[in-house]
Structure 1
């Protein structure tokens, strides 16, 4: 199963209205799953929305991984491809992250970099970081 980036929103049960939830869900085309749950320790409901990275981001990550690991052009990669299964060690993974930072003009925190183990995880993080960039930096 593909790794998905996740955003969680909490609402107090009495304040939930379908119109408010629909306002949150303005771009449904990126949604992979939507789940509702209740925390044991509170009376609030939790709305969890998961979005997968854009296909073009996944493809760019695949291209960078192939280049950094000197894989042949016909090597089949998927979003679930693990860097370690492709022969990457920790130094290779650092070099992949550095190449991704340069390609997408982003900065990946060390804690986030340690969680990048698959192509999909890298693409999800990239799309998330690009969305969070201020408009002046994005151009």
Structure 2
């Protein structure tokens, strides 16, 4: 069994809250590990990074639109980490999801940006970025 030592942990901004495995207002977190059991030549420093820009309400709304567009069962879990492909979406479904998001949020998504959306979180982050403009 390996022992880990956290050499650094940082959060920014500081205001974050944890409730039922959800994180809100957390923009970026970094965690680096090092220890005697992991010489740098054998294993590089491990990094853990979380980035959540979208508000939980936006993620929830996107999740519901995806659920409706893909006609998913009510018991099917759809969250920020859900990948459209894992939910059964093909490229046409993804286009229809983006169109539904454009209609719901009153935004216009460039084709190039639409191609980079693979998860619910990606979509929610893009929506918030477009709404800020």
| TM-score range relative to shorter protein | 0.5 to 0.7
User: 1:28 Cα shift?
Assistant: 6.6
Residue 67 of structure 1 pairs with residue 62 of structure 2: no
Q: Distance in 1 between matches of 2:55 and 2:119?
A: 15
User: 1:63 Cα shift?
Assistant: 0.3
User: 1:106 Cα shift?
Assistant: 0.1
Q: Distance in 2 between matches of 1:67 and 1:34?
A: 32
**For residue 27 of structure 2, what is the aligned residue in structure 1?**
32
Q: Which moved more, 1:77-86 or 1:94-103?
A: 77-86
Gaps of 5+ in 2: 1-11, 16-24, 31-50
Q: Given the two structures, how large is their TM-score scaled by the length of structure 1? A: 0.61
The RMSD of aligned alpha carbons is 1.9
Structure number with greater CO (CA < 8 Å, separation at least 6) is 1
Q: Distance in 1 between matches of 2:130 and 2:98?
A: 13
**For residue 102 of structure 2, what is the aligned residue in structure 1?**
101
Q: Distance in 2 between matches of 1:63 and 1:109?
A: 22
**For residue 91 of structure 2, what is the aligned residue in structure 1?**
90
Q: Given the two structures, how large is their TM-score scaled by the length of structure 2? A: 0.64
User: Does the aligned pair in 1 maintain the 2:79–2:120 contact within 8 Å?
Assistant: yes
Of Structure 1 and Structure 2, which has the larger fraction of its residues in helix? 1
User: 1:64 Cα shift?
Assistant: 0.3
**For residue 131 of structure 1, what is the aligned residue in structure 2?**
132
| TM superposition outliers: structure 1 runs of 4+ over 3 Å | 27-31
Judged with a 3 Å threshold, the aligned counterparts in structure 2 of structure 1 residues 122 and 57 are, in CA distance, closer, same or farther, namely: same
